[in-house]
């Protein structure tokens, strides 16, 4: 019955985080607003010409999504470690990696998914052709999901570091660069009317790699952060 | 065999062994680098295409090789420290990170100086230069992360995980950057970055590489000694070393 218990524990973890987010919805809304504001900066800084914006739209959307995801990472495990519930998880007898995976999944539902769902609006504003939207949604969904895992490792590592927010971005952004390359390139290919299958498959490969190894690294890092 | 290993991992024994080995590595490194530099900068023929400008290769290429292999050495030492809980391995990882960062910076600087006469600009978004730059970010992140801890033990174990995650990512970053530049740049640049090389130019390159590697080992010995001193500053065996020296 162990697996059943684990499934329930994971479900409860996701439910708990969603409930908490529902009660403090402004924390969820802020990064999404940030995403829109940062995207607005690029036309202001470069050109209002849609034809020129179209050529860099994929990069803009991806960079803005990366930066917006960075903002929420620090809070991923911090409150749980501070109030002691993480210690209970470590001691609970359930595999810690799976529980953390549930937490990261809830985090993605709250921060990654809204970014993905909002991106067609920004894409339209940047003149991205309608044919590329599907690719953009898929690449952002895979990319933000992989980023949640990578960011989860960073958040678990910096959990015992005071004011580790800038440090966390410094650690995670270089690791996330391949995601940016493949994601923006996939959208770029779709804009040019070419098949984006190659970079999308590479993105999916990175996603599964982070999905399989990420929880192990997160669990090891949390154990170091909690025991003292 | 095992007792020998355990003896090796004990700080006092390791400290004395490092002290005895370091000068030999130092002399050998200096000799090889001097020979390689003279051979490469004076004796080797000038390149028919790049003239004397190619000679910066003898400083650049070994630094680039080492920047990557030191990261692997660092991650391996960190993994050994994490798995078998050997403090000395953690100390070795901590000692090698700044050296690796320095070699990465040297490779970037010389690469950019090389680029000025060859490409006409100081910086090109070339695959090798870009992945070297990201490697520098990884090193700097590791150093900043390690510095943010007060407790040495916790810093050791947490940064070990970071180094292992980093070393898994290094090939992904390298190949993604390579893929990125081949899609955006004409092939002439990539062919340019991978020149076929004559034997008379290759031998001094290998001498320089061996010299750089020995230099790294030498510096690592000395830095590791410093790291041991810092970590064991309250231990009793240190006073006996001080008395002997």
In chain A, the N- to C-terminal Cα span, in Å, equals 33
Q: How far apart are CA A59 and CA A15, in angstroms?
A: 34
Q: Compare all CA atoms of chain B with the CA of A221 and give the residue at the minimum distance.
A: B158
Q: Is A104 on the interface with B (CB under 8 A)?
A: no
**How far apart, in whole angstroms, are the C-alpha atoms of residue B82 and residue A201?**
33
| A36 in Cβ contact with A118 (< 8 Å) | yes
Please tell me if residue A204 touches chain B, with a CB cutoff of 8 Å. Answer: no
How far is CA B87 from each of CA B147, B149, B157, rounded to the nearest angstrom? 17, 16, 10
Q: Which residue's structure tokens are 């040495």? A: B152
Mutant choice from A155, A175, A200 vs B, greatest count of B C-beta within 10 A:
A175
Contact criterion met (CB below 8 Å) for B65 and B87: no
Count of the separate structural domains present in chain A: 1
The answer to whether A181 faces chain B, any CB pair under 8 Å, is yes
| pLDDT score, position B186 | 47
pLDDT of res. B190: 42
* Cβ-defined contact of A170 to B140 (cutoff 8 Å): yes
Per-residue pLDDT of A171-187, as tens digits, reads 999 999 999 999 988 98
Nearest neighbour of B157 by CB, restricted to A158, A202, A224: A224
pLDDT of residue A150: 93
pTM of the model: 0.89
Q: Does residue A187 belong to the interface with chain B, where contact is any CB pair within 8 Å? A: no
Q: Which of B145, B154, B173 sits opposite A167 (nearest CB)?
A: B145
The phi and psi torsions of A196 (rounded to 5 degrees) equal -90, 15
Task: Write out pLDDT tens, residues B189-242.
Answer: 444 444 566 777 788 888 999 999 999 999 999 999 998 888 888 777 777 766
Cβ contacts of B141 on chain A, cutoff 8 Å: 167, 170-171, 174
User: Cβ of A206 under 8 Å from any chain B Cβ?
Assistant: yes
| A59 at B interface, C-beta within 8 A | no
Q: Across the interface, which of A170, A178, A185 has its CB nearest the CB of B172?
A: A178
Question: What is the per-residue pLDDT for B195?
Answer: 53
H or E stretch covering B217: helix B199-231
Contact residues for B159 (Cβ-Cβ < 8 A; gap 6+) = B78, B93, B94, B142, B145, B146, B149
Do residues A97 and A219 touch, judged by C-beta distance below 8 A? yes
What stretches in chain B show pLDDT beneath 70? 1-2, 183-197, 241-245
Angle subtended by helix axes B152-184 and B57-84, to nearest 10 = 140
Q: Cβ of A171 and B145 within 8 Å?
A: yes
How many Å lie between the alpha carbon of B62 and the closest alpha carbon of chain A?
Answer: 24
Closest chain A residue by Cα to residue B160: A221
Domain layout of chain B by residue ranges? 23-41+52-232
**Which residues in chain B are contacts of A206 at CB distance < 8 A?**
172
Q: B51 — phi, psi (to 5°)?
A: 65, -145
| A170 vs B: CB within 8 A | yes
CA B135 to chain A, closest CA, distance in angstroms equals 8
Q: Give percent of chain B with pLDDT exceeding 70.
A: 90
Q: Closest residue of B to A171, CA-based?
A: B141
- A-chain residues near B152 (CB < 8 A): none
Contact A162, A226 (CB under 8 A): no
Q: Which residues of B touch A194 (CB under 8 A)?
A: none
Q: Do B151 and A228 lie within an 8 Å CB cutoff?
A: yes
Q: With beta carbons under 8 A apart, name residues in chain A contacting B140.
A: 170
Cβ distance of B145 and A228 shorter than 8 Å: no
Task: Look at B166 and A164 and tell me if their CB atoms are within 8 Å.
Answer: no
- How does pLDDT run along chain A (228 residues), one tens digit per residue? 456 788 888 898 899 989 988 888 888 889 899 999 999 999 899 888 888 888 888 889 999 999 998 888 888 888 888 888 888 888 888 888 999 999 999 999 998 999 999 998 888 888 888 888 889 999 999 999 999 999 999 999 988 887 778 889 999 999 999 999 999 889 888 888 888 888 999 999 999 999 999 999 999 999 988 876
Q: Tell me whether B176 touches chain A (CB under 8 Å).
A: yes
pLDDT at B242: 60
Tell me which chain B residues have a C-beta less than 8 angstroms from the C-beta of A174: 134, 137-138, 141, 173
Structure token pair of residue A44: 């202001």
> Under a CB-based contact definition with an 8 Å cutoff, are residues B77 and B91 in contact?
no
State residue A101's pLDDT score. 93
Inter-chain CB proximity B158 and A213 less than 8 Å: no
Q: Which range of residues forms the domain containing residue A196?
A: 2-226
pLDDT score for B191 = 43
A153 contacts in B (CB within 8 Å)?
Answer: 161, 165
């Amino acid at each position: 019955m162990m697996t059943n218990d684990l499934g329930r524990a994971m479900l409860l973890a996701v439910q708990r985080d969603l409930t908490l987010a529902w009660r403090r919805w402004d924390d969820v809304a802020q990064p999404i607003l940030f995403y829109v504001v940062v995207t607005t900066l690029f036309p202001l800084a470069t050109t209002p010409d849609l034809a020129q914006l179209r050529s860099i739209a994929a990069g803009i959307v991806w960079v803005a999504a990366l930066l917006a995801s960075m903002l929420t990472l620090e809070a991923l495990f911090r409150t749980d470690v501070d109030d002691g519930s993480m210690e209970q998880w470590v001691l609970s007898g359930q595999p810690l990696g799976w529980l953390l995976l549930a937490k990261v999944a809830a985090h993605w539902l709250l921060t990654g998914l809204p970014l993905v769902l909002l991106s067609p609006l920004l894409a339209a504003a940047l003149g991205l052709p309608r044919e590329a939207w599907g690719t953009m949604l898929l690449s952002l969904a895979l990319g933000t999901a992989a980023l949640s895992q990578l960011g989860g490792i960073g958040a678990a590592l910096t959990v015992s570091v005071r004011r580790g927010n800038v440090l966390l971005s410094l650690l995670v952004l270089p690791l996330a660069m391949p995601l940016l390359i493949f994601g923006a390139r996939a959208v770029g290919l779709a804009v040019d009317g070419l098949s984006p299958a190659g970079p999308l498959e590479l993105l999916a490969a990175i996603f599964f790699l982070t999905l399989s190894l990420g929880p192990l690294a997160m669990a090891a890092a949390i154990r170091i952060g909690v025991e003292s | 065999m095992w007792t020998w290993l355990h003896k090796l991992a004990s700080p006092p024994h390791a400290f004395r062994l490092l002290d005895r080995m370091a000068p030999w590595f130092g002399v050998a490194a200096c000799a090889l680098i001097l020979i390689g530099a003279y051979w490469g900068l004076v004796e080797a023929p000038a390149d028919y295409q790049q003239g004397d400008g190619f000679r910066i290769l003898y400083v650049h290429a070994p630094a680039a090789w080492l920047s990557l292999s030191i990261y692997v050495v660092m991650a391996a030492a960190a993994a050994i420290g994490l798995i078998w809980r050997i403090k000395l391995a953690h100390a070795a990882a901590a000692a090698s990170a700044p050296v690796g960062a320095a070699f990465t910076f040297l490779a970037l600087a010389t690469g950019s100086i090389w680029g000025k006469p060859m490409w006409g600009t100081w910086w090109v978004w070339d695959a090798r230069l870009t992945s070297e730059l990201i490697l520098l970010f990884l090193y700097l992140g590791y150093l900043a992360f390690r510095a943010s801890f007060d407790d040495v033990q916790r810093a050791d174990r947490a940064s070990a995980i970071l180094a292992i995650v980093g070393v898994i990512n290094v090939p992904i970053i390298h190949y993604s950057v390579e893929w990125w530049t081949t899609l955006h740049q004409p092939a002439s640049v990539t062919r340019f970055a991978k020149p076929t090389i004559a034997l008379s130019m290759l031998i001094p390159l290998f001498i320089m590489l061996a010299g750089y590697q020995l230099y790294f080992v030498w510096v690592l010995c000395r830095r590791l000694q410093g790291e041991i001193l810092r970590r064991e500053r309250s231990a009793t065996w240190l006073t006996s070393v001080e008395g002997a020296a």
